[in-house]
Structure 1
Amino acid sequence: MLKKTTTTGTAAVAGTGRGGAVISSTTTLLLIATFLSILLLTTYPTPKSTYHSLYTSLSFSDNTTISQNLFTLTRRPHVAGTPANADTATYVLSTLSSYSLNSHITSYQVSLTYPLSRTLTLRRPPPYDTSTTFNLHQEIYADDPYADVAGEVLPSFHAYAKSGTAVGQVVYVNYGRVEDYDTLKAMGVNVSGTVALARYGKIYRGDIIRQAYEAGAVGVVVFSDAKDFGGGGNEGARYFPDDKWMPPSGVQVGSVYGGAGDPTTPGWTSTSDCERLSVDEVEMLGDVPLIPSLPVSAADGDAIIRSIGGQVAKDDWQGGMNAPVYRVGPGPGFLNLSYTGNQVVSTIHNVFAVIEGAEEPDRFVLLGNHRDAWTFGAVDPNSGTAALLEVARRLGKLMKRGWRPRRTIIFCNWDAEEYGLVGSTEWVEENREMLASRVVAYLNVDCAVSAAGFHASATPQLDELLKQAAQQVQDPDNSSQTVYDSWISSDDPKIGRLGGGGSDYAPFLQHVGVPSVDMSYGGEYPVYHSMYDDFIWMKKFGDPMFHRHVAVASIWGLVALGLADEEFLPFNYLSYAQELQESAKEFEDKVSSKVISLVPLYKSIDKLEKAAIKINNHIKEIKERRVWPSFWKRNHLEVRELNDRLMMAERAFTDRDGLLGRSWYKHLIYGPSKNNDYGSKSFPGIDDAIEKAKILNSVESWHSVQHEIWRVARVVTDASLVLGGVLT
């Protein structure tokens, strides 16, 4: 996973959206089957719902297969562009082919970065007058079964980090958020010319670097605080392999690139002979850092913290119970950071398998997961790869029993996601027009399993389908209930929204406008992006019996079957209208003191609601019509046209100009927060404009807020026109 996703704008799992789900019922199918057998004396084909039940019944017997696949995929570190990762592509291809699926590899030549050299020295002035050069090395644990390949783990670094040297007093900036710098400014602390020390968490690491640069820092060191990743930093805390927590030498590596896809080919496909931007041109776009940075361990971060004097940091800036007092500086500790990266054009490999649809082969349901990892990648991402292979295995078995989906199902295994959604973005950019006209939905699983507890995010029209799938799968941690039962009784019984740029759903939803889902078991986990995210960690702490993997694969496949097999697409845009109504209300207090009107937005949402009711009633009327003897005269083109309207309505929420200053993000309803790419914002363009206007407080800035409201209102109106299907 490139970036973890924090979601806002959520729908409760319990209950249904207004208008109910638009899903064909088993009862209707059985009535049709009975009628045909009596009237035409023929044998009606096995109902699709029977295959759905059979798919679920193939579940708990195959945790061994999932475990074996995960073990094989994580035997060696496999960073994008390396021979080891090419080997995993070959393994995925051969496994999919063994299920009798039509499989192939599509390769791209993309610009990736790797570390050449890095040093970090801490100097303490008199009276201490000492100097420490950190070894920046993650330690092998006792009886580590992967010790023989530990040397293949890349030195800890930030992908696409600026090469250079940064020298200056150190300032502690907490999580490096905008509000943290506001706090330092209020304390009278000058960050200009310093090296910022930030701790991981809360926001995307690339935003930590960017905001440090904007505050005047010359370099950034980011550490994994034991308070957040080491079990609270309490005395006597146990670490992996004895417990799930990050060892003191563990380092979270990752990308600090703020865009999506190959930075040297923004908006077009990376091939061996394509046009590429120079390093200077890439920097001018503003998506790569302009100051050097390094990730370090909790132990190294602790040593740096102890060198800082000055004012005591706020309580919520402090470390764990066994930590020293955190002060903000600047200095007297003095850091000398040096990093040199090597940017090269490397070959990456996306792997695909296709089950062609029997009735609508030109309508695609995509299931996606990435394969590349910073080290061994047992959670991130290969728990998802193992689940993807399990879904493919089960559908391959259904094909042998005579099943074919109504629509085409495509399995997508991406490369170079960790660098910035590179593999998926390059494929989407190459196939943009075809995808825009033919994809029904994109279903993403990245970190399939890290702990207990099911989580899902989606565009709102897919909420009901997700709930129904979860109701059909047994809870892997409590056999007396379903996943849905445990979900609605959890601490977070919500379906999130896909605004953050967290994984491979972003190019589909935020760039093209494809309805999307992302799901997982568990959430944040302490050994994220470190060399300790290995098969042993998963076996001991993440999913000892691999039943959570099975549950994710079951839900994933059932959602895919619902989209691929139902005659009418199971989309409920009433849920969407309700979601937009609630999100719009959040702006009322923010603009109440200004001459800003939300009326255009509310009117457009009302149009969407009416269009959703109309198309739902139309579908209901067609279903009821079919119980009469004239049902065989139904117009198949009418069904096709209705489904196309349901499919294309999401596209209408995009705007060709995209978000202001971030034109790649075309979706005006869901997109990343400007200051935190982890964050998910509803109406991100309006939100960005309000935040800017609050700072400038000028007539022009508030006029920009009104302009963004009008922009959103227009795309929502466009979506209602698509659902309505009638020209004005």
Structure 2
Amino acid sequence: MATAAMATSLDGKQREPLLHFPTPAAANGAGAAGRRRFLAFLAVMAALIASYHLLEPANSSRYHALFLTLGSNATAAAHLRALTLRPHVAGTEANAAAARYVLHAFSSLSFPAHITPYSVLLSYPVHRSLTLAAARGLAAMPFSLVQETYKGDPYAEAAAEVIPTYFAYSASGSVVAEVVYANYGHSEDYAYLASRGVDVAGKVALVRYGDIHCEDMVRNARAAGAAAAIVYTDAKDFGGSAPKGGKRKWFPEARWLPPTGVQVGTLYYGNGDPTTPLWPSCAAGDDCERLSAEDLSASEAMPGIPALPVSARDGETILKAMGGDVAPPKWQGGEGAPLYRLGPGPAVLNLTYIGNDTLATIENVYAVIQGKEEPDRYVIIGNHRDAWTFGAIDPNSGTAAMLEIAERLSKLQAKGWRPRRTIILCSWDAEEFALIGSTEWVEENMDTLASRAIAYLNVDISVFGPGGLRPRATPQLDELIKEASKMVPDPDEPSQTLYDTMMRYHPPITRVAGAGTDFAAFLQHIGVPSLDMSYGLFNEYPVYHSLYDDYVWVERFGDPLFQRHVAVASVWGLIALKLADDEIIPFNYISYASELEECTKDIADKCKGFPVSLSPLQKSIKQLESAATKIHEEKKCRTGGVYTMSAAWGLREYVQKFC
């Protein structure tokens, strides 16, 4: 067994190793007799190990089948309720309490568990204000910038702890300027404004959530010359539609975002601690190299202009006060919305934002189930714990599912199971700010993880609502996902499996791309096969990153019976078990070759007219496909073979007699 090297920070100080493994004992025996006994021992062990490996799938399968019977809706619900009693933004006492809860949950199951702290740059609001004047010189109308609770809200008292609506890492500053409406904030939207003679330079860009991330919206506004940006949640996209002859309803009567709901987020255009890009941060009190405040503020990763998120009600108020040409039909709002105009003016906004970007402590929590045969090979299960508000869907639906997996694995251990390879369960911190917790851990343990990690299995949000299993993964995991999903009934259609409902979509498995959650560092920094999955569709979850993402919303709309949580835990855990227990790691590179072929076709289309030959690449892909097919067929033959324990003992007796 390999031993884990001590992690060393940039200042030379040592931290605890990733995992502890025993050091192999020295070989025993001397002389020819000792060598003969040692060779005989190796031969016997080889026979027994071979027989065990060929029998192991059946033994493992029994444990895997048992795992699928151990799901508990009540356990998932209890964990979710406990984790979401208070809002828990990274760096706060409430999130530290959530870390202690997860640590206790792991420890109570007799798993070795620990916390790793990092001191990282987080961002909080100090002052925000926004006022509107219908024209210069007129009295200003202030916006409250408050998300309102509702009558009978059980979380109304705790809502006072919710951090004021803001964008993390927004530039501080004050801007007084006319407003220009820029639709969803694409670069193409600004190109359209320019074609219509609308000058964005020095103005406040008003954009609506929808197609792209808020950091892209603000970057595009800055590139177009805007002095500031306002991002609002349009009722057309998040407020639902009114029933025929009735009024529009929203939470708590319906799943939709209330008119005062605000979607907060981050504007940092990168992953990890902004002060330590591409190298690990250290714990508070330790010294590590960091970017200066001056270098950071000049970085292209920072937004460079002040920005604020606002509600649908405030966004519509601003739009009503705007003039200029009428916006095109695709830029308009939904039923009952005012007529949207492009501006600029006559509406004038006075926006002030003052933020505090400060070093704060975050805490990753880990539990380790050490492998019995390949302890230095890791199957990593991860979910982030921190939330912008209560986080009942994002992310603690995933946390509840992960803790439900942990409880099932503990019960398997009580029945005698131990994984072949080590399983690590990870509760990340500060994902919402910039995937910080997971990125810092990968950066700190990069060489170890790059050489030893089998796969990283992420679930950020386990449940959005109805809509079936929606996995995304690197291609070598496709077949494993399909096989595992065939073993789990669909919670919304019990006569069907997750596989049956998943295969209705095209493609049934999409690719992990971008950097929206914690697989990013594993996949993009060190090339570890990765997946992320959830149940349901994002558009069924309009309260994303708002005050209303609480336990009540889950109980009424997201997963009233918690059967979707249990189903995700089942397929997520089963995939982990197969990766941890199967003698031959269950990767299938046939789909990888197919994916590469499709990508090569795209490249060929883009290279038309250029003196570029793709023949070597196409030949290599064919070779990969041939090798992947051969390995797949050999694996089927090997795992389908029959090798009895009596035959193994017969071989043992033969070896003993011969030696």
Please give the TM-score of this superposition, normalised by the length of structure 1.
0.78
2:60 corresponds to 1:48: yes
1:583–1:233: structure 2 CA closer, same or farther, 3 Å change rule? farther
Superposition RMSD in Å: 2.2
Whether the 8 Å contact between 2:242 and 2:249 is mirrored in structure 1 is no
1:211 paired to 2:220: yes
Residues 1:314 and 1:566: Cα distance change in structure 2 (over 3 Å): same
Question: 1:226, 1:233 within 8 Å by CA — same for their partners in 2?
Answer: no
Distance 1:80 1:547, change over 3 A: same
Partner of 1:241: 252
CA distance in 1, matches of 2:315, 2:620: 51
Matches within 5 A, 1:506-525: 506-524=520-538, 525=541
Distance in 2 of aligned mates of 1:96 and 1:133? 48
Q: Please state if 1:558 is matched with 2:567.
A: no
SS of 2:140 mapped into structure 1: strand
Counterpart CA distance in 2 for 1:214 and 1:564 is 47
What is the CA–CA distance in structure 2 between the aligned matches of 1:433 and 1:588, rounded to whole Å?
A: 35
The match for 2:42 is none
Looking at structure 2, the residues matched to 309 and 599 of structure 1 have their Cα atoms a distance apart, in angstroms, of 57
Deviation sequence 1:3-35 (CA, Å, 0-9, x none): xxxxxxxxxxxxxxxxxxxxxxxxxxxxxxxx9
1:548 aligned partner: 564
Could you tell me how far 1:595 is from its partner in structure 2? 4.0
Q: Distance in 2 between matches of 1:98 and 1:191?
A: 58
Give the secondary-structure state (helix, strand or coil) at the position aligned to 1:365: strand
Correspondent of 1:91 among 73, 98, 101: 101
1:362 aligns with 2:376: yes
Q: Does 1:586 align with 2:602?
A: yes
Three-state SS of the structure 2 residue aligned to 1:320 is coil
* 2:495 aligned to which of 451, 465, 480: 480
Q: Deviations over 1:586-624 (max 9, x none)?
A: 233333244444334323322322332344355456557
- 1:162 is matched by which residue type in structure 2? A
Q: 1:214 to 1:377 in 2, by over 3 A?
A: same
Kindly indicate whether the alpha-carbon contact (under 8 Å) linking 1:378 and 1:535 is maintained by their aligned counterparts in 2. yes
1:111 aligns with 2:121: yes
> Residue 228 of structure 1: SS of its match in structure 2?
helix
Q: Does the CA contact (< 8 Å) of 2:56 and 2:583 recur in 1? A: no
How many pairs are equivalent?
591
For residue 412 of structure 1, give the secondary structure of its aligned residue in structure 2.
Answer: strand
> CA 1:233 to 1:260, structure 2 compared with 1: closer, same or farther past 3 Å?
farther
CA 1:225–1:475 in 2, change beyond 3 Å: closer, same or farther?
same
- Structure 1 window deviating more from structure 2 (227-236 vs 62-71): it is 227-236
Of 448, 465, 471, the match for 1:434: 448
Residue type of the partner of 2:65? Answer: S
Query: For residues 443 and 610 of structure 1, what CA distance do their matches in structure 2 show?
Result: 28
Q: 1:311 aligns with which of 315, 318, 325?
A: 325
Structure-2 residue corresponding to 1:678: none
CA deviations 1:476-518 (Å, max 9, x no partner) are 11111111112223x4552010112110000000111000010
8 Å CA contact 2:135–2:345 kept in 1: the answer is: no
Q: Per-residue deviation at 1:330?
A: 1.1
Q: Which position in structure 2 is the counterpart of 1:181? A: 190
Asked if 1:250 is matched to 2:252, the reply is no
Q: Distance in 2 between matches of 1:542 and 1:44?
A: 39
Matched, 1:220 2:234: no
Query: Which residue of the other structure, out of 267, 272, 285, is the alignment partner of 1:261?
Result: 272
Match of 2:166 in 1: 157
Structure 2 CA distance for partners of 1:631 and 1:418, relative to 1, 3 Å: farther
Mapped pair 1:372 → 2:386: yes
What is the distance in 2 between the residues matched to 1:602 and 1:279? 48
* CA shift for structure 1 position 166: 2.0
Structure 1 residue 45: deviation in Å? 10
Matched with 2:211 is 202
Identity %: 55
Distance 2:377 2:594 in 1: 28
SS of the equivalent of 2:367 reads strand
Q: Does 1:533 align with 2:549?
A: yes
Distance, in Å, in 1 between the alignment partners of 2:532 and 2:274 is: 25
- For residues 495 and 626 of structure 2, what CA distance do their matches in structure 1 show? 41
Number of the residue aligned with 1:505: 519
1:179-237 deviations in Å (ceiling 9; x for gaps): 11121122221111111000011101101111111110010000000000001478711
1:383-429 alpha-carbon deviations (Å, 9 max, x no partner): 00000000000010000000001100010000000001000000000
Say if 1:444 and 1:45 are closer, same or farther in 2 by CA, change over 3 A. closer
**Equivalent position SS for 1:389:** helix
SS of the residue 2:150 aligns to? coil
Residue in 2 that maps onto 1:723: none
Structure 1 residues 44 and 207: alpha-carbon distance in aligned structure 2, compared to 1, 3 A threshold: closer
Distance (Å, rounded) in 2 between the aligned partners of 1:44 and 1:520: 30
Report the Cα offset of residue 92 of structure 1: 0.5
Give the SS at the match of 1:285.
coil
In structure 2, relative to structure 1, the CA distance for the partners of 1:101 and 1:417 (3 Å cut) is same
Residue equivalent to 1:458: 473
Instruction: Give the counterpart letter for 1:267 in structure 2.
Output: L
Measured in 2, the distance between the counterparts of 1:470 and 1:359 equals: 27
Bigger mean CA deviation after superposition, 173-182 or 436-445: 173-182
Match of residue 399 from structure 1: 413
Of 31, 46, 70, the match for 1:58: 70
Quote the residue 1:76 is aligned against. 86
Partner of 2:12: none
In the alignment, the residues of structure 1 paired with residue 639 and residue 381 of structure 2 have an alpha-carbon distance, to the nearest angstrom, of 29
Residues 66, 549 of structure 1: 8 Å contact kept: yes
The separation in 1 between residues aligned to 2:306 and 2:565, in whole angstroms, is: 39
More deviation in 159-168 or 586-595? 586-595
Q: Measure how far apart 1:313 and its partner are.
A: 1.1
1:87 is paired with a residue of what secondary structure? Answer: helix
Amino acid at match of 2:431: E
Structure 2 residue identity aligned to 1:486: T
Look up the match of 2:5: none
Distance in 2 separating the partners of 1:268 and 1:299: 43
Unaligned runs of 5+ in 2: 1-46, 650-659
In 1, Cα distance between equivalents of 2:360 and 2:645: 62
2:419 aligned with 1:408: no
